[in-house]
Structure 1
Amino acid sequence: MQIVKVGNYEVGQGHPLMLMAGPCVLEGYERSLMIGQRTKAICDKLGIPYVFKASFDKANRSSYASFRGPGIEEGLKLLAQIKKDLGVPVVTDIHEPWQAEKAAEVVDILQIPAFLCRQTDLVYAAAKTGKTVNVKKGQFLAPWDMKNVIKKVEEAGNHNIMLTERGASFGYNTLVTDMRGLAIMRELGYPVVMDATHSVQIPGGQGTSSGGQSQYVPHMARAAAAVGIDALFLEVHDNPAEALSDGPNMVKLDNLEKLLTDVLAIDKIVRG
């Protein structure tokens, strides 16, 4: 398996389980930093490498009126400051090719959203920056189809790739996660990530916004750890009911330590 560099961390076979976590979208400096600080304190206690995640823009919204974030200019300033204050790597998603180079000046991982994972120009632009590229598997793709996405990144001369599972479309407004997909994608030679929060999302389930079943996030995370993963992706918030995006599928910060403790115990057995 290819070992991937993320800041001072190494991700992949033989390296510790990494956590990518934070609010869905930047909610101002103070609150976003607080969420990062609380998450980092838990990770430091448990010995988990931590990457702060948040979006500067959520372009894929159910409604035109939905909150999207501060935008790329202000958002990257916030991420740069949070990265400095926390002293950890940062990941954010991009939606258009021109955003790649600009975001790469600040963040350590460029994330390709699931709906955009087949957008050749976007994937190639992210890869050309040399930054680690985390590609979320589209809800419409089989896990083995990700080999074609990998080839696009490799074509740009980049081998810092991670693949993320976040569920597959199962009828209307429903996702299901086939845990075999984690093993299949891992066989493609790169680290795999489990997005346990978006996997319990109910896309468009509230009419003008997505719903979710956050009570099942721990089940998804534990199951993924049992299969074998290299990183866990979680959207976390101090009060999900107040979150400006994806609240129904977020993990409450008060519950994060217990969830991670369980996941680490399973991860230790699998790696043992």
Structure 2
Amino acid sequence: MTNTPDAMKDLFESSRKDLFFILGPCVLESRDMALQTAESLAGMAASLDVNIVFKSSFDKANRSSLDGFRGPGMEKGLEWLQEIKKRTGLPVITDIHAPQQADEAAGVADVIQIPALLCRQTDLILAAAATGKIVNIKKGQFMAPWDMAGVVDKAASRNPGIWLTERGTTFGYNNLVVDFKSIAIMSGLGFPVILDATHSVQLPGGLKTASGGQREFVPVLARAGVAAGAHGIFMEVHPRPEMALCDGPNSWPIDETFSLLQNLLKIRDALHA
């Protein structure tokens, strides 16, 4: 996929019309692992005739511990993402944490992601939107779905290409819960809504120096998200989740991803039968 305004428009318009997926490892751990994962996902996209956007972060700035793995950094990470785009043809999404990262990230990324914890940061949102790329804004764990209206107003003042992602709401200490009404409520704001089925099973800070997770519930939330009308499903996938350097407990195994996508597409088809 070329990184052009027409390509952005096509990707955004298709996201309104049919179920799509955002998939990839939480963070870029190595060039080879990221590329192999992306090649597997590209094969799934072709076999299933669906849009898959490859997701991975060059830097995870919101780690639980100072010692948490953050990634290769912006320069090397963007080089790897550029190679992934060229080799696989998949569009890519990566997140930024500061306004000054927006333009450089947009030189490679087709979609700029705003992390949930930063979704109220006005300057960050405006900088991402000003790039002209699709902006995926994750709803904060601390926000009601209707409170995203103000966030949307900020981004839409610069760019109409907005995605919104539900990723669970804080439910007591170290736990999240998904209110599936959120999908309908945020869809009412006029933009595609994505259900993040992996971060929603996260147990924030549950391992004291890292977040835990309940991977076994990923398919449950993904299926419910499609049934509830989500335009897209977001999942962090990894060749060996138990060895992942970030978000392993809530990541889904890559070798079980194809069958799960097949199942989700059957739900989509049943809804439109």
Tell me the TM-score normalised to structure 2 length.
0.95
Matches within 5 A, 1:75-154: 75-154=77-156
| Count of aligned residue pairs for this structure pair | 267
How far does residue 100 in structure 1 lie from its aligned partner after superposition?
A: 0.4
Distance of aligned partners of 1:93 and 1:188 in 2 relative to their CA distance in 1, 3 Å threshold: same
Matches within 5 A, 1:173-188: 173-188=174-189
Residue of structure 2 equivalent to 1:222 = 223
Q: Deviations over 1:191-210 (max 9, x none)?
A: 00111000000001011000
Residue of structure 2 equivalent to 1:159 = 160
Distance of aligned partners of 1:5 and 1:229 in 2 relative to their CA distance in 1, 3 Å threshold: farther
How far does residue 5 in structure 1 lie from its aligned partner after superposition?
A: 6.3
Give runs of ≥4 in structure 1 deviating > 2 Å: 4-13
1:56 is matched with which residue: 58, 63, 67?
A: 58
How far does residue 124 in structure 1 lie from its aligned partner after superposition?
A: 0.5
Contact kept, 8 Å, 1:7 with 1:89, in 2: the verdict is no
Contact kept, 8 Å, 2:42 with 2:89, in 1: the verdict is no
Q: Distance in 2 between matches of 1:267 and 1:48?
A: 12
Contact kept, 8 Å, 2:145 with 2:185, in 1: the verdict is yes
Q: Distance in 2 between matches of 1:43 and 1:175?
A: 30
Q: Distance in 2 between matches of 1:167 and 1:32?
A: 26
Q: Distance in 1 between matches of 2:82 and 2:70?
A: 19
Q: Secondary structure at the match of 1:244?
A: coil
Contact kept, 8 Å, 1:11 with 1:230, in 2: the verdict is no
The runs of 5 or more residues in structure 2 that have no matched partner are 1-5
The runs of 5 or more residues in structure 1 that have no matched partner are none
Q: Distance in 1 between matches of 2:207 and 2:46?
A: 36
Contact kept, 8 Å, 1:6 with 1:89, in 2: the verdict is no
Alignment of 1:11 with 2:14, yes or no, is yes
How far does residue 7 in structure 1 lie from its aligned partner after superposition?
A: 7.0
Contact kept, 8 Å, 2:202 with 2:211, in 1: the verdict is yes
Tell me the TM-score normalised to structure 1 length.
0.95
Q: Distance in 2 between matches of 1:174 and 1:237?
A: 22
Identity of aligned residues (%): 52
Matches within 5 A, 1:67-78: 67-78=69-80
Q: Distance in 1 between matches of 2:19 and 2:7?
A: 13
Q: CA RMSD in A?
A: 1.3
